[in-house]
A and B are shown apart, each in its own frame.
Chain A
Amino acid sequence: EVQLVESGGGLVQPGGSLRLSCAASGFTFSSYWMHWVRQGPGKGLVWVSRIKNDGSYATYADSVKGRFTISRDNAKNTLYLQMNSLRAEDTAVYYCAREYLALADWGQGALVTVSS
């Protein structure tokens, strides 16, 4: 059974940093592209970033480019999202997702709140 478990969310002040983790199990992690998707409170889904299976290539939404960095450790079956220069509008539940067919598998999400 595919499992994706996010962690690392919490309350951070504007301008601060936070790193999310997504622990993967139940599939060969190193074979799949992975994504981060976020959802602000009461709002819709927003695609954030994707990373190639070997970690050699990544892309970002314009809204986070230059502030967020996606990475992965295939030896640890873990996906990361380093978030810097956080803004109030980054407040959201952050989901990691496996790219299979489309985004076939999702974690339960990690809540990030940016507030002073």
Chain B
Amino acid sequence: QSALTQPRSVSGSPGQSVTLSCTGTSSDVGGYDYVSWYQQHPGKAPRLMIYNVSKRPSGVPDRFSGSKSGNTASLTISGLQAEDEADYYCCSYAGSYLDVFGTGTEVTVL
């Protein structure tokens, strides 16, 4: 149960697009289409942004999108806004009813 690998930080200017990566193995990210992404502002509980690789829950802006290729999942934020500045975590099902989170990426809006 090793944590999925995410870049420590990503930054972009308002209106730009940023892409966050989440790298695992064939036993987790690559093996199942059960990757989810969470946004967490300081001192707050996480918020679900993407589930099942690319689906958005109701209420999540459509500038958030997800994808997967092989053992790497990605979250793209298009049209970056100030309120998008937060920590983002990926999470994958790892078989046998186990889950694993990523190391987290801090998104900074310049």
Seen from chain A, the residues whose Cβ lies within 8 Å of a Cβ on chain B are: 35, 37, 44-47, 50, 57, 59, 61-63, 95, 101-104, 106-109
Contact = CB atoms under 8 A, between A and B. Distances in A.
B74 interface: no
Contact of B1 (A62, A101, A102, A104): A62
B110 interface: no
Contacts of A62: 1
Nearest to A59: B97
A61 B57 CA distance: 27
B100 A47 contact: yes
B98 A101 contact: no
Nearest to A101: B51
Interface of B: 1, 3, 34, 36, 38, 40, 45-48, 51-52, 55, 57, 87, 89, 91, 96-104
Nearest to A4: B45
Given A62-B1, A109-B45, A47 B101 contact: yes
Given A102-B51, A103-B38, A109-B45, A44 B3 contact: yes
28 contacts: A44-B87, A44-B102, A45-B38, A45-B46, A45-B91, A45-B101, A46-B3, A46-B101, A47-B91, A47-B100, A57-B97, A59-B97, A61-B1, A61-B98, A62-B1, A95-B45, A101-B36, A101-B48, A101-B57, A102-B52, A102-B91, A103-B36, A103-B48, A104-B51, A106-B46, A107-B45, A108-B45, A109-B45
